[in-house]
Amino acid sequence: MQAIMPRLKRAGHYLIVAAFCFFTAAPFLIMIVNTFKQDADLYRPQNNPFIYNVPPTLDNLRLLFEGTNYLGFVRNSLFVGVLVVLITLVVAVPAAYALARLAGSWGERAGIAIFLVYLVPPTLLFIPLFRVVTAFGLNDSVWSLVLVYPTISIPFSTWLLMGFFKSIPRDLEEAAMVDGFSRLMAFFKVVMPLSLSGVIAVTVFTFTLTLHEFVYAMTFISSSDSRPLSVGVPIELVRGDVFYWQSLLAAAVIVAIPVGIVYNMFLDRLVAGFTMGAVKG
């Protein structure tokens, strides 16, 4: 009996993990299956959602790629996402380091104040930001999103990286400077390699933000050629009261798969970046 109990506990653990995995993966499985379903199969409540009760079809993918500007939406989102990530890192990394190492006692209070800016709802800011976008002549252009999105990503990223830089002992930098490095070289040679998890967390957070953001993209972009995914897909696949669900799900799955792969590749560093930054900050 004593030999059986550990096996039963192990089997119970595996069963719980399997149930959790199925619970989290079932929506994505249904999305993939429904991408190829015909309307007659999708809209019958009696049909099993996990199997094809009617032969599958590729018409939904044809509608997505031929009936909408989907590839243009993907291209715009990638363009905006990469530029916003670069801008965020260029501004947030030195700002966070300065507040964590050089600002003295008021650095932490300044970091909290910066983080509070991130908490302001976009619905309160899109009107004044629209005036800024108009003043720069960037209406109906992806460059308007490149200008506006860093106002969301930089405050949170600065606060997160501050906590990460504080977790790195000052002795390491001082030892590097004793060996002849300047503070700048010590930052690049010592601090940045140890802060890689935080930089990855900021990169993933910022890029995901640009993919999901809706209010600003809806306000500043009106032409199909300039729309990102978050706005272009629902606008062109929701026509009046008709929802092209299979094509909507296909659009989501095609983007979710590579993003999910990247998340899993850097999962350990991503978790470390968020947790260490939050605890040490």
When computed from its CA atoms, the radius of gyration of the chain, rounded to whole angstroms, is 24
Residues 6+ apart with CB under 8 A from 257: none
Domain locations in the chain as residue ranges: 4-57, 68-280
Coil, strand or helix: which one is 213? coil
Calculate the CA 38 to chain-centre distance.
32
pTM above 0.95?
Answer: no
Tell me which of 215 and 111 has the higher pLDDT: 215
Least confident of 58-72, 87-101, 136-150, 164-178: 164-178
d(CA 156, CA 164): 13
Residue 82 has pLDDT above 90, yes or no: yes
Q: How confident is the model at residue 279 (pLDDT cuts 50, 70, 90)?
A: very low
Mean pLDDT over 145-163 rounds to 88
User: Among 120-129, 163-172, 201-210, 268-277, which stretch is predicted with the lowest mean pLDDT?
Assistant: 268-277
Question: Within 13 Å of residue 194, how many CA atoms lie on the same side as its CB?
Answer: 18
pLDDT of residue 270: 61
- DSSP labels, 58-89: SHHHHHHHHSS-HHHHHHHHHHHHHHHHHHHH
Could you tell me which residues come within 8 angstroms of residue 42 by beta carbon, excluding any fewer than 6 positions away?
Answer: 34, 245, 246
The top-scoring range by mean pLDDT among 69-73, 159-163, 211-215, 263-267 is 69-73
In whole angstroms, what is the distance from residue 249 CA to residue 236 CA? Answer: 13
pLDDT per position as a tens digit, 217-262: 988 998 888 999 999 999 999 888 888 999 999 998 988 888 778 7
CA–CA gap between residue 280 and residue 261 (Å, rounded): 29
- Tens of pLDDT, residue by residue over 13-25, are 888 988 888 888 8
Cβ atoms < 10 Å from Cβ of 156 = 20
Alpha helices in 3-149 (DSSP H): 4-35, 39-42, 59-66, 70-97, 106-118, 122-135, 142-148
Report how far residue 255's alpha carbon sits from residue 257's, in angstroms, rounded to the nearest whole number: 6
Give residue 239's region: left, alpha or beta (phi > 0; psi -120 to 50): beta
With bands split at pLDDT 50, 70 and 90, how would you rate the model's confidence at 105? low
Burial of 224 (0-12, 13-18, 19+ CB in 10 A): middle
Q: Which two tokens stand for residue 167?
A: 């977790």
Domain 68-280 homologous superfamily, CATH = MetI-like (1.10.3720.10)
Q: Which pLDDT tens digit goes with each residue over 58-69?
A: 999 999 999 899
pLDDT of residue 281: 42
